Structure 1
Amino acid sequence: MSAEDRPTPAAGDREQLLADVRPVAFGIAYRMLGSVTEAEDVVQEALLRVHRSLEAGEQIASPRAFTATVATRLAMDELRSARVRRERYVGDWLPEPILTEGRGDTVDPARATETADSLSMALLVVLESLSPEQRAVLLLHDVFGYGYAEVATIVGKGEANVRQLAVRARRHVGDRRPRFTTTPEAQSELASRFFAAARSGDLAGLESLLAHDVELVGDGGGKAPSLARSQRGRSRVAHTLTNWLRALRRLPGTEVRLTEVNGGPGATFLVEGLLLAVWALEVRDGQVAGIRAIVNPDKLAHLGPVGDANALIRRIGGSRPGD
């Protein structure tokens, strides 16, 4: 019997069991919701329900499967209410970023080898186009490796219905689902050249690293300066990026730290030790095909102290991004 499927432990081992299944709950909830804050709420409620079941003497044959079921159903409920909020969201909506460098097994030990694909910003954005049921079925089967019969039990639908949901979800996602065709080392090297060119104002060098149809998306949520709408095309995007970095260089204590964001290359931007933005890069065929810049302070707070972007704009006397 595997560690994942061991019988319900004695009372003294329950804390360890909850710690063991917590990554499962977070892994499902975060991918479902694209929000660390909302995912943590789901995790807390899921673990509370697991604890109550153990306290009541319920025999749980597979704690991992039990936790996955509870977390998925809670996430589906949360997603339905979250969609109303997202329809009213100011500007483009992007997932809350997580920094995954050196944390592969911590983020989701059950599927560590697929972190880059299943946690990528690009995929999480694509998943927003699916219904809660389609999203749950696609993630549980294609990412977490549950069989259709197990998925049917988790989402509370018949197996035939679940198979249909999976087919529709895959068809809807289609070619928009990102596929990493280069090694992590190659992506990291490209990211280093990208940020070096952007920081130095090397417009020609930057354009050479961008795909012709590159897309730049900013998420300020109306709480921080950001793009009014996404931008496309290497020339336009390159000019916008160099203008942003030129403005930042005018501030003392500016720091750009290259790091892994949602399993892929990216960077954090800090001013005087305060986090200002997180950028996630999408790499395709050896070029940067997408840049997603999260500056909404609410989406960065889980990563540490956040700076006031509006105050910084006033300090440098600059215009808002996209102006």
Structure 2
Amino acid sequence: MPASDPDAERVDASGLYDELRPRAFAIAYQMLGSVSEAEDVVQEAFLRMHQTLQRDEPIASPRAYIATLATRLAIDQLRSARVRREQYVGEWLPEPLVTGPTPADIAETADSLSLAFLVLLESLSPHQRAAFLLREVFDYPYAEVAEIIGTDVDSTRHLVARARNHLRDRRPRYHASRRQREELAQRFFAAADQGDLRALEALLAQDVALHGDGGGRVPALGRSVNGCERVARTVLAGFSVHARYGVRIQLTEVNGQPGAKAYDAQDRLVAVMALGIADGRIHTIHSISNPDKLRHLDQVSDLGTRLRAGRRSVDTG
């Protein structure tokens, strides 16, 4: 770990927090796909840095030190998280980030922050994921990546190459301008709200995929829905249910991509949707309604819980 150097000047961890935290969080979040777990990693990384300074151990490069801590803690956390995800009810999706006008403040590019990309990263081993992100997303030199993950340069190059080959044909690429993406999202949510099937289908790619995550807590898709017509009808069915309960849509940016937050009549958060757009069409839709994955964003609605209870009573009635 690039920590101790007898000639390094002493640094104040508290003074560096604002400077170093965005990168540490970006690494941890893209490693874990969880806001809460990433926050825990960042907190632990800065605690360890503070303890190192308290022992009067100099730190040569605070930036490298925090990146190393965040990465190694995230690798350990990811190993245990994957065991839990194997028993997850339904499809697992990352916790969404509702980003502002500059998603680069949280992660380096909108593409690498997208939910579709984070889901794709789940197919990599923890060390492959770390090496790939540090090199390809955060642009660390191979030598520094090797030092951070605790291996040699040749092994690091091999890890990155394997990850790159694995992701090459499946990595999402969103080339539309920000304005084009926002306009298409507005048309999508307007068509869904109005129940206009034809208008909705016209916005979707033929191979569009709809993913939902309720975590077994609220009604959600058990598996992905694929194909333009099926996805359009599924979206309209969901919007129809929401309309009966007074749910409103608020357009926003989700993980660097256009999306929306759904609020109930009491202004409590019901779900977050993100759209993956390329070549003038929507290729992926991710809908997250698991309350546990929304609490970091706002007060969460109990609508999904009530709908789930209603289904149970109908099934047993």
State TM-score, norm by structure 1.
0.90
Instruction: Give the residue type in structure 1 aligned to 2:196.
Output: D
Q: Is 1:300 equivalent to 2:294 in the alignment?
A: yes
Deviations 1:260-312 (A, max 9, x none): 00000100000021000000101121100110000000000100110113344
Q: Counterparts of 1:1-323 in structure 2 under 5 Å?
A: 8-9=9-10, 13-104=12-103, 106-108=105-107, 111=108, 114=109, 116-252=110-246, 254-271=247-264, 272-313=266-307
Give distance in 1, aligned partners of 2:296 and 2:236. Answer: 28
Cα distance, 1:105–1:290 mapped onto 2, change above 3 Å? closer
Segment drifting more, 304-313 vs 164-173: 304-313
Give distance in 2, aligned partners of 1:179 and 1:84. Answer: 30
For the residue of structure 2 that corresponds to 1:153, the secondary structure is helix
Given that 1:224 and 1:296 are in contact with CA atoms closer than 8 Å, whether structure 2 keeps it comes out as: yes
Instruction: Give the residue type in structure 1 aligned to 2:84.
Output: R
Cα distance, 1:57–1:247 mapped onto 2, change above 3 Å? same
Percent of aligned pairs sharing the same letter: 54
Given that 1:8 and 1:54 are in contact with CA atoms closer than 8 Å, whether structure 2 keeps it comes out as: no
Q: CA RMSD in A?
A: 1.9
Deviations 1:201-230 (A, max 9, x none): 000000000000100010011001001211
For the residue of structure 2 that corresponds to 1:276, the secondary structure is strand
Give distance in 2, aligned partners of 1:161 and 1:123. Answer: 24
Given that 1:251 and 1:316 are in contact with CA atoms closer than 8 Å, whether structure 2 keeps it comes out as: no
Instruction: Give the residue type in structure 2 aligned to 1:185.
Output: R
Give distance in 2, aligned partners of 1:317 and 1:89. Answer: 21
Give distance in 1, aligned partners of 2:54 and 2:151. Answer: 28
The Cα shift of 1:104 comes to: 2.9
Given that 1:95 and 1:125 are in contact with CA atoms closer than 8 Å, whether structure 2 keeps it comes out as: yes
Instruction: Give the residue type in structure 2 aligned to 1:303.
Output: L
The Cα shift of 1:14 comes to: 3.3
Cα distance, 1:8–1:192 mapped onto 2, change above 3 Å? farther
Instruction: Give the residue type in structure 2 aligned to 1:255.
Output: R
Structure 2: 5+ residue stretches without partners: 1-7
The Cα shift of 1:16 comes to: 1.8
For the residue of structure 2 that corresponds to 1:301, the secondary structure is coil
Instruction: Give the residue type in structure 2 aligned to 1:269.
Output: A
**What is the number of equivalent residue pairs in this alignment?**
306
Instruction: Give the residue type in structure 2 aligned to 1:69.
Output: T
Structure 1: 5+ residue stretches without partners: 1-6
Instruction: Give the residue type in structure 1 aligned to 2:61.
Output: S
Give distance in 2, aligned partners of 1:220 and 1:311. Answer: 10
